[in-house]
Each structure stands twice: as structure tokens, then as C-alpha cells.
Amino acid sequence: MSATLTKAKPTTDWAADEDEDDVLPQPEVIKNKDGTETHISYRINDDGKKIKTIRKIKHTVIRQEVNHRVAERRTWSKFGVENGRKVGPQSDTTTVGENIEFKPRANYKTTQAVEDKDLFANQKAKLKEAKIKCRICSGEHWTSKCPYKDTMAPEGEPGPGLGDSEEPEATQAGSLGQGGSSYVPPHLRKGGAATGERMSGGKYGERDDLATLRVTNVSEFAEEADLREMFGRFGHVTRVFLAKDRDTGRAKGFAFVSFADRSDAAKACEKMDGFGYGHLILRVEFAKKAT
Amino acid sequence: MRPILLSGHERALTQVKYNKDGDIIFSVSKDHIVCAWYSANGERLGTYHGHQGALWTVDVDPTSTLLATGGADNTMRLWEVETGKLLKTWDFGSSIKRVEFSPDGRQLLGVTEKRVGHVSSIVVYDIDAEKGTEQSDEHALRIVIDYSKATVAGFSYHAKYIIVGHEDGKISQWDGKTGEWLNEIEPHEADITDIQWAPDRTYFISASKDKTAKLIGTTDLEIMKSYATDTPLNSAAITPIKDYVILGGGQAAMDVTTTSARQGKFEARFWHKIFEEEIGRVRGHFGPLNYVAVDPTGKGYCSGGEDGYVRVHHFDKTYFDFAYEVERELGTNGTTQARI
């Protein structure tokens, strides 16, 4: 159906009217001077957006002499599941793989074996270069093989038996409990105290639950910005949190709004409770302290 | 060399075959469907529907009018290549492991599997392309293999002999007319997975699970060349024009998931036919190669893998240019045609 045709007919049908807006421009083929062709086509994608595709195509004719039997077979019509499909390879069954360098050579096996060996030798050499250093006495052996492992702990940890008689030079902050016989929880590790302290702050930093309102019965099409605007009338809003579904991105129906000042929050609570927003009536109350 | 990947099958490929002019590739897999493809561009010509079980084998007659298939549904079927029409179904008591047309296309051979209550056998039918669906129900010849079961078989030149590969690594020779036992050798230690002919069928190559492939004379069953690899072989092919053989294989399918593609050795190996030396490999499949087939015109080859893909390769110049020093000195440049 072409665009010009529909316009010529005076349509009264509202459905047809709508259609007319969506009619895609005709695909175009422009022949360029350098022998290439530019194909412009339009389509509507899944989101209902119009997509314009421009393809530049260069035709190269490769002439090949084949015997008449082969030529005749090329004209056969397709059958089976291919029945009725257009000529040419279909992208669902036929793809072109990546280029493979294939160069026959006389002593493939020996050279290949050397290459493989080289690779292996390289890895071995690398491993050799990596110095083994005992964490207890810095000697050239594994920590588990250290002659002092029963009497001394790895560097940076208090020894099990001898205490701190040999003071370690560098104390690594927040290091894992290395080499020790048992697991050390993070907050008990050396320098781990700092990690523990951060925990209480939480993701949003310190927040004053006293001036936070819980808003429920929120429309699922609500936006954080709308809420901020609505509650901003009563005072300075420090934080708006709107719970959203992870998959659909729609609001789950509740939100938290924090104010800088508790009196503003109280005012907002009083005014906004029962306020109609997006065909629903909001319910606003003070948030309960998180446990 | 840019391979064309054919992904029309949903399960592991079992055999791929070129027709005589090398323009069409037929592929069969365990998904019950036969596909025909144009080798030049990988376009699928059509599919042949009717089999009820996994397919093991396919062959096309020299004029590309008839197609024979055999599978695990205990049938051997004859199809019209051009239209995909089923012409004839022969029913058996066990599955068909291999089919092959005689060089003149007037006989069709099938290898039946050994099962409880069924012996392994070779059946030969007379085929008349003119008759269409009215093919003979009665076999022209039946050879019962009552010792180690037959895995593969084929017709020699002029259909004079039938060469059979066995599960225990033996290769036997039978008279193509009378079905009389003539000769036997034991070139391999494990089951023979494939036998493919030289263009004139005076010699053939056998591939075996014992990791070797051997070039054997048809008339006297003399082992002429031997190619020892490091992986079980599923298939071997002789290339026309250049004196190479292509070997395909890889670790058994059941062990594949436990190894990486690199370790699995899923490569097509090119060996020099005369000097028995490996000259190169072509990578690509991520499963064992179940079959390699060579374009009879010598311009390319294709391989069907356990991974469900057929990879069609058109050789490029480096393939044709390669020659050993001695070959250059002789002026043959490594081509069979120049030597004749």
C-alpha cells in the first residue's frame, strides 16, 4: 500500500486515519556514480519507532564456467522446509565463518611440536622465575614447608607461641589472615576495625529516620521527581526513595521521603495523607525506625 | 580460506557427501532430516522428510538424480534429488549403517547392523532410475557377515569387488557379482569407521578408531601407505588434483565435554598422501569431526561435526601451490594430473 494511494481516498474511518501516520516512506534505491547502489529502507521496530536503514551495496559479478548439468541444477526450485523461500543463502542456515589461515608446509609436525613445546617451556620458565618466598622466614621454600611454622606465625601476625618477640616490620592494614591455622573474621583482622565501622552508615550514609515519611498507595506510574516536587512544598526534602520493580521498572507502590527538618515532615504528613495522586489516594505516615 | 557454516541440522552430523560434479552437498544427521546444499554459496536447496530415526548414511548416484539414505529406523530409502520425493523404502530388521551406489549408479549397497536376532549383512539392490518408485523389493545379492560385524562397505571399480570394513579392524574383499569371499587383511586394531575411494576406485583409504588411516589397494588389499595420528579417526578422504589425504576425528563424543576444544583435537588433518607426512590442520569444529568429504573436482572439502555444523571450505591458492622440493624438481608440482 503506497502513501499516495491512501491520501487520494478521503477516509472517514478513524482507524485508517491512524494508519496513515504510520505509513512508511517507500524504499529508495539510488545508483551512485562509482557503480555502487545505496538502498534506503524504512521499518518500524519493536518499540514502535521508525528505523531508517541505509545500505551501500557494491555488486561484483564473478563469472564461472560450469557444465550444463550444474547450471541446470542451479535453477531447481527449493523443496522441503525451504519450499517457497527466495533464491540465495538464508541467514538462518548459512553463515560465513571467520577466515582460517591454511598453509600446507613440509615439516608441519616438527614445527608444530616445537611451537607447542615452546609454549610449554615458556610457561615453565615463568613459573621458575617466580620466586618462592616463605611468609614466615622469607626463605626460599613454601610457607607450609617452613621449619619454623610451628613456632612462628607469618609476618604481620602475632605468633602463636612466642608472642611478639620478633616484631614484624610492616603491618599490612586490612590484610587477610594469611597462613594462620584458622579463619579470622574481617572485623578481627589487623586494621579491619575501620571496615567494621563503615558498616553502620549503610548505603545512603547517616540518615535521620525521625524526619522520614512512609508514603504508601502510590501509583505504579509515579516518578521520584513527582514525589520530590509534591513534598518539596513543605520544606527541604533530603531524600526520596521510590521502590521500583527490578524487572518492569514500575513503582511498587510505596516510597520514603526524608525531610531536613522534622517539623516540615510533620506538616507534610498532615497535609499529604489522603491526597489524591494519579487516581489513588496517598497514605502518609512517619516511617518506623529500621531495625 | 573462509569456511561456510551450514547450520540446518539440530543434532550431530553423521555423513556429508558431494555429488559427482561437486555442486551439491548432502548431509544427514541424527535429527532425521536429509539436507541438500549448493556447495558454492551454502544455500540450502531442500530437505528430505520421511525418516523416523537418526540417519547414519547418505549417498547420491553419479547422475545426481537419486539419493539413498539409511538410518536407525531400520529403513533404507531412495529419494528423487530434484524434488525431495520419496521413491522407495526398504525395511530391515536392524539399522542401516552405510549405503553406497556402484560407480555406474545401477546398484545400491546397504550395510545392516548386527542386533539380537539379526546378523550383520551387506545387501545389494538393482536400481533403475527410469522406474522411479517401482524399484525391486528383492535384493540382488546378500552377503551375511557372520563373524565380526561390518561397519562400512563400498563398491570397487566396475563394482567388481565389495570391500567391507569390520568392527575388529579387518578389511575383507568379496566378489561384487557372486558375493563370494575372496580375501581379508587386518590393517587396524580397532573398528573401521570409514572407507573412501580414490577417484578411480583402484585404491581406498580406511580410517579407524585405532588412530591410524591406511591407503590400501583394491585388488590385492596391499597396504600402501599409513598415517598415524594422535586421535581416534572417524573419517578419511583422498583429495583429487593434489596428493593429499584429509583425516577427521577427535575424542569420542562422550568425553568431549570434559576437555577443551584445543585438547579435543577437533581438526581436519591434511597429510601428504605419498610422503606420509602431516602438512597442516584446519580448525573450526568444536566437536569431533564425524565425516570429511572432498569435492570430486578437488576445489574444496566439507566436514560434518558432532557439533551439528557442516563446514564447507573452498581451497585457496596456498593449498594448490604447495609442493615438496622433489615434486618441484620433477616438474609435477604435486599434482596428480600433471604426472599422468
Count Cβ atoms below 10 Å from residue A283 Cβ, excluding itself: 15
Separation in Å, CA B255 to CA B250, B251, B261, B287, B288: 10, 7, 11, 10, 10
Nine-digit cell string for B285: 569444529
Please tell me the distance from the alpha carbon of residue B30 to that of residue B51, in angstroms, as a whole number.
Answer: 10
Q: Which residues contact A273 (CB under 8 A, 6 or more apart)?
A: A282, A283, A284, A285
pLDDT above 50: residue A133: yes
Averaged pLDDT for residues A251-258? 89
CATH of the domain at A249: 3.30.70.330
| pLDDT at res. A169 | 43
B280 and A103 within 8 Å at the Cβ level: the answer is yes
Residue A178 domain-assigned (yes or no): no
- Alpha carbon of A71: minimum distance to chain B alpha carbons (Å): 9
pLDDT tens, position by position, A227-249: 888 898 888 888 899 988 888 88
Residue A136 domain-assigned (yes or no): yes
Characterize the bridge pairing of strands B107-112 and B96-101: antiparallel
| pLDDT at res. B58 | 96
Residue A108 domain-assigned (yes or no): no
B2 and A96 within 8 Å at the Cβ level: the answer is yes
B44-79 residues labelled b (16+ CB within 10 A) or e (exposed): bbbbbebbeebbbbbbbbbebebbbbbbbbbbbbbb
Provide, as residue numbers in chain A, all residues whose Cβ is less than 8 Å from the Cβ of B277: 106-109
- Place A22 in a pLDDT band, splitting at 50, 70 and 90: low
Interface with B, mutate which of A93, A110, A114 (most B CBs under 10 A): A93
Interface with B, mutate which of A65, A77, A79, A105 (most B CBs under 10 A): A79
Residue A31 domain-assigned (yes or no): yes
Nine-digit cell string for A160: 602463636
B277 and A74 within 8 Å at the Cβ level: the answer is no
The C-alpha cell 576495625 sits at: A193
Q: Considering only CA atoms, which of B123, B91, B86 is closest in space to residue B108?
A: B123
| pLDDT at res. A25 | 78
Please tell me the distance from the alpha carbon of residue A117 to that of residue A110, in angstroms, as a whole number.
Answer: 10
For A93, the closest of B7, B313, B322 (CB atoms) is B7
| pLDDT at res. A7 | 44
A76 touches chain B (CB under 8 A): yes
Which residues are bridge partners to B192 per DSSP?
B208
- Place A181 in a pLDDT band, splitting at 50, 70 and 90: low
B45 touches chain A (CB under 8 A): yes
Report how many domains make up chain A: 3
| pLDDT at res. B264 | 61
The answer to whether residues A154 and A221 belong to one domain is: no
Residue A145 is part of which domain span? 132-160
| pLDDT at res. A60 | 82
Interface with A, mutate which of B47, B241, B245, B326 (most A CBs under 10 A): B47
What is the three-class DSSP state of B311?
strand
Residues lower than pLDDT 70 in chain B: 253-264, 332-340
Please tell me the distance from the alpha carbon of residue B12 to that of residue B29, in angstroms, as a whole number.
Answer: 6
Count Cβ atoms below 10 Å from residue B81 Cβ, excluding itself: 22
Report how many domains make up chain B: 1
Amino acid at A142: W
| pLDDT at res. A137 | 80
pLDDT tens, position by position, B243-280: 999 999 887 766 655 555 556 678 899 999 999 999 99
Residue A140 domain-assigned (yes or no): yes
- Place A121 in a pLDDT band, splitting at 50, 70 and 90: confident
| Structure ipTM over 0.85, yes or no | no
Residue A125 domain-assigned (yes or no): no
Please tell me the distance from the alpha carbon of residue A77 to that of residue A72, in angstroms, as a whole number.
Answer: 11
pLDDT above 70: residue A17: no
| pLDDT at res. B339 | 44
B2 touches chain A (CB under 8 A): yes
CATH of the domain at B267: 2.130.10.10
Range list of H helices, chain B: 261-264, 317-321, 325-330, 336-339
Residue B73 is part of which domain span? 4-339
Residue where a domain stops, chosen among A13, A38, A57: A57
Residue A182 domain-assigned (yes or no): no
B277 and A76 within 8 Å at the Cβ level: the answer is no
Are the C-beta atoms of residues A244 and A214 closer than 8 Å to each other? Answer: no
pLDDT above 60: residue A129: yes
pLDDT tens, position by position, A74-99: 899 999 998 888 888 888 899 888 88
- Alpha carbon of A79: minimum distance to chain B alpha carbons (Å): 5
